[in-house]
Structure 1
Amino acid sequence: FAPRLKVMKKPVLVSSTDGVGTKLIIADLLKKYDTIGIDLVAMNVDDVVVLGAEPLFFLDYIATGRLDKDQLVEVIRGIVRGCREANCALIGGETAELPGLYEPGKWDLAGFCVGIVDADKIIDGRHCRVGDKVIGLASSGLHSNGYSLARRVFSEEEIKNKWGKELLKPTKIYTAVILEALKKIKLKAMAHITGGGFYDNIPRVIPDGLQVVIRKGIWPVPPIFKEIQRRGQVAEREMFRTFNMGIGMVAVVSPKETEPALKLFQKLGQKAYLIGELVKGPHEVVIE
């Protein structure tokens, strides 16, 4: 693979590896495998782009007890679609048939992505200041986290019928939108809202001494989250720690960049909301 290095003064490689967790079980119940590959790509490329890096290439690893060629074709089809959405090359992978390790019908999926960014353009939150604003980008649903809890509140019959389509909805890929936005606005920090939700992911990209205040009610929370909370009698704090609650990516911008950023994201077809701000205080997220 030959990356475009001429336009960079000091290129830095950024990498990510991840899977899709127990969302695979939902795919198995529905016997539908053409979107799980999109989830796999999303979980990796969006972990790379939060540093301002452009994903270069992607590899996949599929392990199974017994190879199902039809299923494999569908999974790969989703991976290809995801890579196209992220403008990322799919350069290879490994399919391992491990009958002594996996029972027939059992399998797992992992991905690996490498991206590149110029050193002076790395986005790591160091320039965040009191008064900066937090913009939330709408998610497409559960994405690929919280499925162990979700599966406990829905029966297999409900998953196969009423709720399956919603639970298997592909993870939103933000990479193309973010890279386009970076051409016109300055994003000081970004957090991909995956496992750990708001409380664990956002503080990682914010300097010590700053508190992130998120205000509820500004964005619409998709019904699936409310249904899971109601059925499982899950505390609100735990919901925001486990799920994305309708916000799959957050970005921090200066006050003067806020309105241009919101308008730009909308122009790019991405729903975006001003959901909070940075204040002086303990290094944590407060949702009020």
Structure 2
Amino acid sequence: MNEQLEMEDTMMQDAVRYVKEAGALILELMKQPLQIHEKKNQSDLVTIVDVQSEELLRNRIMNDYPSHWILSEETDGCREDSHHLMLQPPSGYGWIIDPVDGTTNFIHKMAHFAISVGIIKDGVPICGVVYNPVTDELYFGRKHGGAFLNGISIQVGQEQELDQALLGTGFPAKEWKTNSIVVEQIAKITGAARDVRIIGSASLDLCLVASGRLTGFWHDGLYPWDVAAGLIIIQEAGGKISNRAGNEFKLSDDTLVASNSYIHQSLLAVLK
């Protein structure tokens, strides 16, 4: 193993350690009363748990890798700026983190939220770690190194046709309205696929595709921290990911379609 691979292996192990620490912190904070604040509306929320989890992750990364850049949900300003940043991402190694992906689920005590950490090199995802502290399920993937759930190799599902597919999607906060494009998309999918689930944590939903629990997933209005980790996990599990136009997905995109690859073109065709 050369020096670069050794360093990246250490980074992935450290990312696993960081999310485990953040998970333990979250489980402890769950015992206390929550302070809930709105960002843009009643569906776009943040809690002190998000903030403290992010502080822990940032502090660990800055201490261990002071030369690396960090992009995180609660700290780095306007979300739209994150898409612009990823058009020409900083060179070298970077960490893209979501301290609690699925905050609304967390607030309502639904056990479907995660800490998500993606590691990037020169704009390309190379490692991803997604951890649900309630179920103690830890997904990770590394470029050319496979995808795993709690250390066991995972692969996407084998459904060949869209009508065999269980799909996932979600509402961006700004689309939680009666005339939402998501409602139109679900109407198109209804009857074409086996069923649709809206579970509420994009990083975990991508991991459900990677592990074959979902056949596909689509979502508009996502940000780099929602997808940086899940992207590499899906790819290493044998799946496919693109934007809604069918082009190679980039972290600057705000439309995403992920699948087991077999149903990808059929899913794109219905969504278009």
Question: Normalising by the residue count of structure 2, what TM-score does the alignment of the two structures yield?
Answer: 0.28
The answer to which structure, 1 or 2, has the higher relative contact order (CA under 8 A, 6+ apart) is: 1
